[in-house]
Chain A
């Protein structure tokens, strides 16, 4: 049994590590470690819902658009309200996100 660890795993957004246990050339078990926590969900609690897409999009600076879109959708789903104008136009279709 050999333990392979890649830490830090570079060339991607965020703090990620991978650990794998290799037995006879085959991966027996593997773990991925997210090594950074900010608690965005806790920061969102109690705020004006209109702040949520702005804050949520800061989860990732590479794929911020998808986080913003999903946050807008969450507001629509909970309120029954549909965003007019630009956010509605860029809304992702069901199942694509």
Chain B
């Protein structure tokens, strides 16, 4: 049975990818080869991150359908790809390309590179290893290598990739840097889109990809964030803005559902559309969760 890519993705979604892989192993290999030859190639790299942004993305309703309608293939993603790097006495085993993750990465000329997590220094004097590496290669060198052959755009997903995030917190033990700094140092001018958030909202990732594919780069602010998503502070559209304006604040837990500013809410300085977009498939957001 020869399966089209569309059918494969439908079946994979319906009965779970692992069952499909067992049942249609040979067909799946064909499909993966076809998929690699058509559509947009997206490489997802993980630096000093926590995989939270990946978890956020794969909770997008019908993420397979969305990626398929955009003709986006993900040949390399450490958390979801079936291939790994298996070596016996230093040689790839078995000797087929589909089993070697690093070979797939090296063979791919990505249209999009997504980075999750910040990027540490290559290696410090006196240390024998990198702060972050993939199959023995320094993540910083690996990222520069992939970024330099990326054709369309680089997406820094999450606060760590966009601005450094928690790994770059004082005293920044690993000299972690955001993607933008590394691109500047490496002299790479591929367009960069920052999608900060901890994690980034799945809508921001999928809709940004859709915008770039269909209309080109979205309008960006001075920090390379899409204005559509990050144009206003959370505070400006907060459902409890009226309490702030009347100076009615919650001062202790449990809260009385007034303004949470005095309890540490950062909505006044955080730019995002959470109050209108909501989270977890439009069910809730942090302000309503305060106990």
**Which residues of A come within 8 Å of B, CB atoms?**
2-15, 17, 35-40, 42-43, 55, 58-62, 64, 84-86
* Selected contact of B87 from candidates A4, A14, A38, A43, CB within 8 Å: A4
- How far does the alpha carbon of A9 sit from the alpha carbon of B84 in the complex, in Å? 6
Interfacial chain B residues near A11, Cβ < 8 Å: 79-82, 84
Q: Which 6 A-B pairs rank lowest in CB-CB distance, beginning with the nearest?
A: A61-B52, A39-B173, A61-B50, A86-B291, A13-B51, A38-B167
- How far does the alpha carbon of A14 sit from the alpha carbon of B139 in the complex, in Å? 13
With both chains docked as a complex, state the minimum distance between the C-beta of A48 and any C-beta of chain B, in angstroms: 10
**Which residues of B come within 8 Å of A, CB atoms?**
46-56, 78-90, 101-102, 120, 130-136, 139, 165-167, 169-174, 176, 198-199, 253-254, 291
- Chain A residue with the shortest CB-CB distance to B252: A84
A37 & B84 in contact (Cβ 8 Å cutoff): no
Task: Please count the residue pairs between chain A and chain B whose beta carbons lie under 8 angstroms apart in the complex.
Answer: 120
Determine chain A's interface SS by DSSP, over half rule: loop
B174 & A5 in contact (Cβ 8 Å cutoff): no
Contact A36 B51, CB 8 Å, known A3-B89, A4-B88, A13-B79: no
B51 & A14 in contact (Cβ 8 Å cutoff): yes
- Chain B residue with the shortest CB-CB distance to A3: B89
B169 & A43 in contact (Cβ 8 Å cutoff): yes
- How far does the alpha carbon of A76 sit from the alpha carbon of B166 in the complex, in Å? 23
B84 & A43 in contact (Cβ 8 Å cutoff): no
